[in-house]
């Protein structure tokens, strides 16, 4: 996934421990720990759904201070089976996080998530508020129908060329319901058709992530090891409305409103427009709200990466955000 060239990031660090965690009879999760084994635990939740983690994700955190936990969600990254939608729901991912926390003997942890990772962070926090010390959230996605519709129908206002390539994969007589058309191809009996549709979905998303286009990111998202997770699971979660009731995450904010949080949002985020982050901020008066004026959606945008590192440092120094 993203590799960051931002001077504010901490130097690369390797895991001191990693493993595979079977969570049911189908899914096995990849997990890792890096940084300080005796440090303050922080959990990184990747985006997507299906995008997986990358070594650069460890670099948001001071490895001398934090016990950095990364894992690939069901069907993502190094977890197996790749792109598998069965037994893959938001509620099961929340349960997986708890199973991982218990396995690692962690009492509570700081939760760090962006895009879909912010959705999962809120869902987990609202289910287990006593296990969270705070939240660092970026590029907010609340899983509403309006946000899902925006991905398919609103982003073309800003990326008409990329959307045209996305639509081009679908016959004209099926284009009135792009999600259904992609689901049909992503989950057909043909692995070749699955991969072709997944790559088209994943490229579309990748090409809309940055303020200034980064073709190398689209190429990376086209790799089968990334595209099958992003495409298949993105469509799976979309057609199931993210396994959330409409407005659920805002409605249940009372469960975590007392906890420290920072919301970091790119001003020109086309994938997850700032209005959604603003809605979350209105429901979370104690949260710090930071808009990065020269950034799109990706955590690798220099201003967003700098703001994320500043937030982890602020929590380190003050215990708050």
H helix intervals, 129-190: 145-149, 160-168, 178-186
Antiparallel, parallel or unpaired: β 109-114 and 132-138: parallel
Cβ atoms within 10 Å of 215's Cβ, excluding its own: 9
Write the secondary structure of 2-34 as one string of H (helix), E (strand) and C (coil): CCCCCCCCCCCCCCCEEEEEECCCCCEEEEEEE
User: What does the angle CA 131 – CA 48 – CA 67 come to, to the nearest 5 degrees?
Assistant: 40
Q: Give the DSSP H or E segment for 203.
A: helix 191-206
CB 246 within 8 A of CB 144: yes
And the tokens for 260?
């420290």
> Among residues 27, 46, 57, 297, which one is catalytic?
297
Burial 84-118 (b: 16+ CB within 10 A, else e): bbeebbbeebbbbbeebbeebebeebbbbbbbbbb
Paired with 67 in beta bridges are: 35, 41
> Among residues 56, 115, 202, 300, which one is catalytic?
115
SS3 content of the chain, % helix, strand, coil (to 5): 45, 15, 40
And the tokens for 230?
């992003």
> Among residues 72, 210, 269, 300, which one is catalytic?
269
Catalytic annotation on 18? Answer: no
And the tokens for 206?
């990748």
Distance CA 109, CA 315 (A): 12
Catalytic annotation on 269? Answer: yes
Antiparallel, parallel or unpaired: β 132-138 and 261-266: parallel
**Residues that are catalytic:** 115, 269, 297
């Amino acid at each position: 996934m993203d590799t960051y060239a931002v001077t504010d990031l901490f130097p690369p660090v390797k895991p001191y421990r990693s493993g595979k965690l079977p969570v049911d009879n189908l899914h096995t999760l990849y997990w890792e720990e890096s940084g300080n084994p005796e440090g303050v635990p922080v959990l990184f939740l990747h985006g997507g759904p299906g995008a997986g983690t990358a070594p650069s994700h460890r670099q948001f955190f001071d490895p001398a201070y934090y016990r950095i936990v990364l894992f690939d969600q069901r069907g993502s990254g190094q977890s197996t089976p790749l792109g598998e939608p069965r037994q893959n729901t938001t509620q099961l991912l929340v349960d997986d996080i708890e199973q991982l926390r218990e396995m690692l003997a962690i009492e509570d942890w700081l939760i760090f998530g962006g895009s879909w990772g912010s959705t999962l962070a809120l869902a987990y926090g609202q289910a287990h508020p006593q296990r969270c010390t705070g939240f660092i959230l970026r590029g907010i996605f609340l899983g509403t129908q309006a946000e899902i519709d925006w991905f398919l129908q609103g982003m073309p206002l800003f990326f008409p060329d990329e959307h045209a390539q996305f639509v081009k994969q679908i016959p004209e007589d099926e284009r009135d319901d792009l999600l259904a058309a992609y689901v049909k191809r992503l989950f057909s009996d043909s692995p070749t058709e699955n991969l072709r549709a997944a790559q088209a979905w994943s490229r579309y998303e990748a090409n809309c992530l940055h303020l200034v286009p980064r073709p190398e990111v689209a190429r990376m998202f086209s790799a089968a090891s990334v595209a099958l997770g992003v495409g298949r699971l993105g469509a799976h979660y979309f057609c199931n409305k993210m396994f959330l009731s409409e407005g659920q995450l805002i409605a249940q904010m009372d469960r975590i409103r007392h906890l420290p949080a920072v919301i970091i949002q790119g001003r020109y985020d086309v994938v997850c427009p700032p209005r959604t982050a603003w809605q979350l901020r209105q429901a979370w008066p104690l949260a710090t709200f930071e808009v990065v004026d020269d950034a799109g959606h990706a955590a690798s945008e220099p201003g967003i990466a700098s703001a994320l590192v500043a937030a982890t440092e602020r929590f380190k120094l003050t215990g708050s955000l």
